[in-house]
């Protein structure tokens, strides 16, 4: 029997340190600096405030824990990373302080998996050292969920590839040292075999950021999700990652990790919402009694706790499956977690916000900002519907069609077979009944 819900005492000590460190050292950065600066390494807050914190994280052996030793990292696997990310999810700047922010984690993962020694030295090492940030450039303006509509292409020209086309929502391109760009390299086959990944330094001539799109609430034109045009962007042949035609195999590795890391951090965000919800319920009196004493409010608290507990177990189980069997064997679990993430965040944060009344929906509480992350979680890294299809396909794979006209659960045949099996006893029963 190996079911175990305990955390090793030594690792629990690390988590306790992490919790205090995030609350005391990192959350004040969230309150003082806007979110979009998280990736702007040129801003002095990075050198003066974040870097010294990163040194403390490194000293604790908690830096860049998304890569396990098999990929040259210091990490301890997805379950432990999950427990860490639950705490980091409470703060916008915390992943940067710990060197495990998206999309750099996923980019580092695929570089570690598929990169040549030279690519690792040039792109992965500075990323893992926290010196640079990176971008993943896959979605196109005409569609993200269906790669079959992608048209951004790369053509071979001597020792170089030449990229042309548009990408949409290429997060952090404006701050990135390089982008991993997916482009069609063989239009005569399915995109799933005819696309490749390119490592493109962002100072390469021909990269035109049409607009930096922001999320709702961010100042217009000052967002971090680039609508980008690649105009005859030339990269050397050695900048193909993993070989021509490998883009989708690589993307699958990358998106699996990214999805579960978002889910892990969402646990932290939901727990923060529950903390606020409970504090409010115990602080506010209406019609002569505390909110906490009202049935409807107790239902909010109970439903939220139950939903978060279910979600947390689901996320940690998916993390465990990845640790035990690898990401490719955890596709169903990861997709299910991805589906659940947006819903649990939407429901729990909504209740916390609602319980705070007008204050909850105001700009004096963080709740409405947290709530807008719910639809984002339902879309980034693929929409909910697509992940449900993955779950359904994986579940259906475990079944086959009924051999005959009627379902195998059809009672007449089953009852007849069972009666045959116990015929001698049933005869005895009937005899007794008669006398």
Ligand X SMILES: Cc1cc2nc3c(=O)[nH]c(=O)nc-3n(C[C@H](O)[C@H](O)[C@H](O)COP(=O)(O)OP(=O)(O)OC[C@H]3O[C@@H](n4cnc5c(N)ncnc54)[C@H](O)[C@@H]3O)c2cc1C
Q: Which of 237, 229, 154, 136 is nearest to 191 (CA)?
A: 154
C-alpha distances in Å from residue 131, one per residue of 43, 62, 97, 171:
13, 17, 12, 18
Dihedral through CA 37, CA 38, CA 42, CA 47, nearest 10? 120
Counting contacts by CB under 6 A, is residue 383 touching ligand X? yes
Cβ 24 vs Cβ 53: under 8 Å: no
Residues numbered 138 to 167 that lie near ligand X (CB under 6 A) are 138-139, 143-146
Residues numbered 62 to 91 that lie near ligand X (CB under 6 A) are none
Q: Which stretch binds ligand X (CB under 6 A): 69-77, 122-130, 137-145, 333-341?
A: 137-145
d(CA 216, CA 223): 10
- Of these, 306, 376, 416, 426, which contacts ligand X (CB under 6 A)? 376
- Of these, 171, 185, 196, 266, which contacts ligand X (CB under 6 A)? 171
C-alpha distances in Å from residue 284, one per residue of 108, 151, 278, 295, 349:
47, 56, 10, 15, 18
Contacts within 8 Å (CB) and 24+ apart, 25-32: 25/53, 25/56, 25/97, 26/53, 26/91, 26/93, 26/94, 26/97, 27/90, 27/91, 27/94, 29/91, 29/93, 29/97, 30/91, 30/92, 30/93
State which residue, 291 or 340, has the beta carbon closest to ligand X. 340
State which residue, 169 or 300, has the beta carbon closest to ligand X. 169
Nearest approach in angstroms of CB 64 to ligand X is 19
Counting contacts by CB under 6 A, is residue 278 touching ligand X? no
Cβ 20 vs Cβ 89: under 8 Å: no
d(CA 46, CA 298): 43
Counting contacts by CB under 6 A, is residue 382 touching ligand X? yes
Nearest approach in angstroms of CB 127 to ligand X is 15
State which residue, 37 or 277, has the beta carbon closest to ligand X. 37
Counting contacts by CB under 6 A, is residue 261 touching ligand X? no
Counting contacts by CB under 6 A, is residue 103 touching ligand X? yes
Nearest approach in angstroms of CB 230 to ligand X is 13
Counting contacts by CB under 6 A, is residue 170 touching ligand X? yes
d(CA 372, CA 358): 17
Q: E strands, 132-190, where? A: 134-137, 153-157, 160-171, 178-184
- Of these, 33, 39, 161, 169, which contacts ligand X (CB under 6 A)? 169
State which residue, 112 or 152, has the beta carbon closest to ligand X. 152
Counting contacts by CB under 6 A, is residue 250 touching ligand X? no
Count other Cβ atoms within 10 Å, centred on residue 249.
Answer: 17
Counting contacts by CB under 6 A, is residue 137 touching ligand X? yes
Nearest approach in angstroms of CB 145 to ligand X is 3
State which residue, 170 or 271, has the beta carbon closest to ligand X. 170
Counting contacts by CB under 6 A, is residue 379 touching ligand X? yes
Distant-in-sequence, close-in-space partners of 418: CB < 8 Å, separation ≥ 6:
none
Q: Which stretch binds ligand X (CB under 6 A): 130-138, 271-279, 358-366, 417-425?
A: 130-138
Element (H, E) at 231: strand 225-236
State which residue, 150 or 300, has the beta carbon closest to ligand X. 150
State which residue, 80 or 332, has the beta carbon closest to ligand X. 332
If you ran DSSP here, which 8-state letter would residue 7 be given?
Answer: P
Counting contacts by CB under 6 A, is residue 224 touching ligand X? no
State which residue, 265 or 280, has the beta carbon closest to ligand X. 265
C-alpha distances in Å from residue 261, one per residue of 48, 81, 253:
27, 8, 13
- Of these, 45, 71, 361, 386, which contacts ligand X (CB under 6 A)? 386
* Residues within the interface to ligand X (CB under 6 A): 103, 136-139, 143-146, 169-171, 225, 376, 379-383, 385-386
């Amino acid at each position: 029997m190996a079911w175990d819900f305990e955390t090793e005492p030594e690792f629990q000590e690390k988590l306790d340190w992490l919790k205090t460190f995030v609350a005391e050292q990192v959350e004040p950065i969230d309150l003082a600096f806007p979110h979009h600066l998280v990736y702007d390494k040129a801003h002095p807050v990075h050198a003066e405030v974040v870097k010294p914190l990163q040194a403390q994280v490194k000293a604790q052996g908690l830096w860049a824990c998304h890569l396990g030793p098999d990929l040259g990292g210091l990490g301890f696997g997805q379950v432990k990373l999950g427990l860490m990310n639950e705490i980091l999810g409470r703060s916008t700047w915390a992943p940067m302080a710990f060197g495990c922010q998206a999309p750099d984690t996923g980019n580092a993962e695929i570089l570690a998996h598929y990169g040549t020694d030279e690519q690792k030295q040039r792109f992965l090492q500075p990323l893992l050292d926290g010196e640079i940030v990176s971008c993943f450039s896959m979605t196109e303006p005409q569609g993200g969920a269906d790669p079959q509509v992608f048209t951004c292409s790369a053509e071979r020209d001597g020792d170089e590839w030449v990229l042309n086309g548009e990408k949409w929502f290429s997060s952090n391109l404006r701050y990135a040292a390089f982008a991993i760009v997916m482009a069609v390299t063989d239009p005569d086959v399915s995109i799933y075999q005819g696309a490749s990944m390119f490592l493109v330094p962002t100072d390469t001539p021909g990269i035109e950021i049409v607009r930096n799109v922001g999320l709702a609430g961010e100042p217009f034109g000052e967002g971090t999700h680039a609508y980008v045009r690649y105009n005859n962007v030339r990269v050397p042949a050695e900048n193909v990652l993993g070989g021509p035609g490998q883009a989708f195999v690589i993307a699958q590795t990358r998106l699996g990790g990214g999805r579960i890391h978002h889910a892990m951090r969402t646990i932290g965000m939901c727990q923060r919402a529950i903390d606020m919800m409970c504090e409010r319920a115990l602080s506010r009196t209406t019609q002569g009694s505390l909110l906490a004493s009202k049935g409807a409010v107790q239902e909010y608290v109970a439903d939220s706790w139950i939903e978060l507990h279910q979600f947390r177990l689901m996320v940690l189980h998916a993390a465990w499956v990845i640790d035990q069997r690898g990401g490719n064997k955890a596709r169903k679990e990861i997709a299910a977690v991805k589906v659940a993430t947006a819903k649990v965040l939407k429901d729990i944060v909504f209740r916390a916000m609602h319980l705070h009344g007008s204050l909850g929906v105001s700009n004096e509480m963080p709740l409405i900002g947290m709530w807008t992350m719910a639809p984002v979680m339902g879309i980034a890294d693929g929409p909910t519907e697509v992940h449900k299809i993955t779950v359904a396909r994986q579940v259906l794979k475990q079944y086959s069609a009924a051999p005959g006209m009627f379902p195998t659960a059809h009672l007449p045949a089953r009852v007849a077979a069972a009666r045959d099996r116990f015929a001698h006893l049933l005869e005895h029963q009937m005899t007794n009944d008669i006398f």
